[in-house]
Amino acid sequence: MKFNDAVFGAVFLVLAIAVLITARSFPAIPGQQIGPGAFPTVVASIMAVCALLLIVRGVRGAGSRQRWFEAGDWLSSPRHVLRFAAVVAALLFYLAAAQTLGFVITGILLMTGLLRAFGVRWIVTLGTAVAATLLIHSIFYKMLKVPLPWGLLQGVAW
C-alpha cells in the first residue's frame, strides 16, 4: 500500500500544529528562560517544515502520474486482510479489556490470539504468550516503574 507524500505531509503538518498549540499551554518555570514547551516546540517546528516539503514533493509527483493512493497486492489476499484485521482487533481488545482483566491476562489472551491468527502451533503459542507477557510485564513494572493494571489479579500482585 502506497500513499502519496502529500497525504503523509498533511497528516504530519496537522500533528505538528497540534503539538505547537499544546506546547504553548505548558506553564513557565519561574527563574528559567527555557520552559517545558521549548523542546516540543523545536521538534514540532522541524516536523512542520519537513511536512511542508513532503506536501510540495507529493503535489509535484501527483501531476506526473503518481496516484494519491495505491493498494498493495496484499489487499487482494483474504488471509493477509484477516491478519491485518486481527492486529487492529487486538489493539482495540487491549484498550477495552486491560483495566478490567489486567495486563497479564489481557497480554496472554492477546498474544495467543495473534500468534494463532498468524498460524503458529498451539504449543509454541501458549509458551510464547505466557513467557513474553511475563517478560514484558517484568520489564515495564519492575525496571521501568510503569504501573500496569493488575485487574483480576489485584489480590495476587507481587
What residue ranges in 5-156 does DSSP mark as E strands?
69-70
Given a cut of 70, whether residue 63 has pLDDT beyond it is no
Cα-flanking dihedrals φ and ψ of residue 68, to 5°? -75, -30
In angstroms, the CA 148 to CA 139 distance is: 11
Are residues 127 and 81 in contact, defined by beta-carbon separation less than 8 angstroms?
no
Q: What is the pLDDT of residue 60?
A: 83
Q: What angle do CA 145, 150, 152 make, to 5 degrees?
A: 175
pLDDT digits (tens, 9 = 90+) for 15-42: 999 999 999 998 888 888 888 888 999 9
pLDDT tier at 151 (50, 70, 90 boundaries)?
very high
Percent of the chain at pLDDT exceeding 90: 63
Q: Is the pLDDT confidence value at 59 over 90?
A: no
For residue range 87-134, list pLDDT tens digits in order: 999 999 999 999 999 999 999 999 999 999 999 999 999 999 999 999
Q: Mean pLDDT for the chain?
A: 90
d(CA 150, CA 128) in angstroms, rounded, equals 20
The per-residue pLDDT for 36 is: 86
Report domain extents, the chain.
2-70, 75-156
pLDDT at 138 over 80: yes
pTM of the model: 0.62
Res 64 pLDDT > 80: no
Provide the 8-state DSSP code for 140.
Answer: I
Nearest-angstrom CA–CA distance, 104 and 133: 6
